[in-house]
Amino acid sequence: MSLMLKNRGAVLILMLNIFLVFMGIGLIIPIMPKFMNSLGIGGSTIGLLVATFSLTQFLFSPLAGRLADSYGRKRMIVIGMIVFSFSEVLFGLANAPVLLFVSRMLGGVSAAMIMPAVMAYVADITTQDERAAGMGYINAAITTGFIIGPGIGGYIAEFGIRVPFFAAGAVALIAGCISLFILRESLSAKKTSSDSSAPTDKEGSLLSQLIRSYREPFFLSLIIVFVMSFGLANFETVFGLFVDHKFGFEPGDIAFIITFGSIAGAVVQATAFSWILNRFGEKNVISVCLLFAGVFIFMTLFVHKFWLIFAVTFIVFLAIDILRPAIGTQMSKLAADRQGYVAGLNSAYTSLGNIAGPILAGYLFDIDINYPYTLACIVLLICFGLSLRAGKRMKVPSPDHRPSAN
């Protein structure tokens, strides 16, 4: 019996946690145009609000990854869910921009605690051959969270614009309790204690990790993660604002497009993602998805009918939903026995892109609503070129080989 089948209960709990986190993140997308009006803020403030989440996630991710290696995955997941629950409730209570920023900062901390721990947990309970399937399940939960989140945010907002956030906080707290009492630690006590000091001291601070990351065999993958996140953040940050300003869409309309535009991604990740990666390889899948995402984001500027917007967005979301787990799988295979450390770096580079992308997208949106998507297209096509080069240099190590941290 495979390791993943033996631990299918743990996988389901992990999927529940990560689903709830990204559902809460997705809640904000269709609601933000109304928040802009009620609080009197513009696109640049929205960009800074999104970037704040990513900034705190970036600052805390490498430490969280090391803590997951040192003190266990379960502990980080449970604490992260509690912090996330509090951040959602605070966002619902906020009546001024400063409280929104505090809420997003706490949300970033919780995401930094949860994401590396979940990815490392999956790596602990899967073999090399099962890794793609395990990552596919987790990313299917992420995608489904993004699908359900905007839908809930758009439709429940009719009963009160703050109601969805209180619901997300309550459900996240329940999920944290389920993890606390049911989820088993994936690291043995012996391994946890033996790894608790050496990797932490060796891998050092956030800054030293980033500086030394260029020596790692997965460095070009990290660059792709950064550039990809930067480009996608331009698209995702202003999507609700874009269709609101250009077409006058209501939160329900925005939720409808995002929900059905993303649903194929969840289906693919849960059913065909493992086959796609095993059949075509991570390199080819990453390159093709980057190309499609860049081209179809650019096409968004030239469509005007609802069904065309739906179709173009559908392709963009499908490419994104395949792209993210493909890169995660590739880096996990290169990480050997430093899964928490590499997952933390992956999250940090993602956050760097998510910091710069929304800030620039917000300011560009205030100048011209078409500028963020033009930039996103250019950046993703540059990333496509980088992916072609990266594929020639990366080699997955054998299971008994550990990459040097020096």
| Helix, strand, or coil (residue 200) | helix
The pLDDT, as a whole number, for residue 398 is 46
Average pLDDT value for residue range 245-254: 75
Alpha carbon distances (Å) from 215 to 58, 208, 210, 211, 334:
20, 12, 10, 9, 13
The pLDDT, as a whole number, for residue 187 is 65
Asked if residues 190 and 342 have their Cβ atoms less than 8 Å apart, the reply is no
pLDDT of residue 2 exceeding 80: no
pLDDT digits (tens, 9 = 90+) for 58-103: 788 778 878 887 778 888 899 999 999 999 899 888 888 888 899 9
Better-scored residue on pLDDT, 383 or 147 = 383
pLDDT digits (tens, 9 = 90+) for 175-203: 888 888 888 877 654 354 444 444 444 55
Q: Considering Cα of 16, then 22, then 25, then 29, what sign does the dihedral take?
A: negative
Confidence of residue 405 (pLDDT cuts 50, 70, 90): very low
As to burial, measured by CB atoms within 10 angstroms (0-12 exposed, 13-18 middle, 19+ buried), residue 284 is middle
Cα separation, 307 vs 51, in Å, equals: 31
Cα separation, 135 vs 133, in Å, equals: 6
DSSP letters for 136-199:
HHHHHHHHHHHHHHHHHHHHHGGG-TTHHHHHHHHHHHHHHHHHHHHPPPSS-HHHHHHHSSHH
Better-scored residue on pLDDT, 273 or 290 = 290
Asked if residues 27 and 149 have their Cβ atoms less than 8 Å apart, the reply is yes
pLDDT of residue 366 exceeding 70: yes
The pLDDT, as a whole number, for residue 261 is 65
pLDDT digits (tens, 9 = 90+) for 127-179: 777 777 787 788 778 767 767 777 777 777 778 778 888 888 888 898 888 88
DSSP state of 6: H
pLDDT of residue 313 exceeding 90: no
Confidence of residue 14 (pLDDT cuts 50, 70, 90): confident
Cα separation, 248 vs 271, in Å, equals: 36
Cα separation, 311 vs 257, in Å, equals: 9
Record the pTM: 0.68
Asked if residues 74 and 185 have their Cβ atoms less than 8 Å apart, the reply is yes
The pLDDT, as a whole number, for residue 281 is 81
Rounded mean pLDDT of the chain? 77
The pLDDT, as a whole number, for residue 210 is 75
DSSP state of 128: T
The pLDDT, as a whole number, for residue 3 is 57
184 Rama sector, left if φ>0, alpha if ψ -120 to 50, beta otherwise: beta
Q: Which range among 14-28, 272-286, 322-336, 355-369 has the greatest average pLDDT?
A: 355-369
DSSP letters for 279-322:
HH-HHHHHHHHHHHHHHHHHHGGG--SHHHHHHHHHHHHHHHHH
In this structure, how many other beta carbons lie within 10 angstroms of the beta carbon of residue 6?
Answer: 10
Asked if residues 149 and 22 have their Cβ atoms less than 8 Å apart, the reply is yes
pLDDT digits (tens, 9 = 90+) for 250-285: 777 777 777 776 677 667 767 777 788 888 887 888
Report the alpha-carbon angle 335-3-348, nearest 5: 30
Q: How far is CA 134 from the centre of its chain?
A: 16
| Residue 397 phi, psi dihedral angles, 5° rounding | -75, 160
Can you read off the two tokens belonging to residue 161? 């614009």
Can you read off the two tokens belonging to residue 153? 């945010």
The pLDDT, as a whole number, for residue 84 is 92
Better-scored residue on pLDDT, 85 or 386 = 85
Asked if residues 238 and 304 have their Cβ atoms less than 8 Å apart, the reply is no
Complete domains list, the chain, with CATH: 1-186 (1.20.1250.20), 206-394 (1.20.1250.20)
Window from 184-193, 316-325, 375-384 with minimum mean pLDDT: 184-193
pLDDT digits (tens, 9 = 90+) for 207-238: 777 777 777 777 777 887 888 778 777 777 77
In this structure, how many other beta carbons lie within 10 angstroms of the beta carbon of residue 166?
Answer: 15
Q: Which range among 239-243, 245-249, 308-312, 341-345 has the greatest average pLDDT?
A: 308-312
Average pLDDT value for residue range 299-315: 83
The pLDDT, as a whole number, for residue 379 is 86
Share of the chain above pLDDT 90, in %: 5
Q: How far apart are the first and last CA of the chain?
A: 37
Q: Considering Cα of 23, then 29, then 31, then 35, what sign does the dihedral take?
A: positive
The pLDDT, as a whole number, for residue 203 is 53
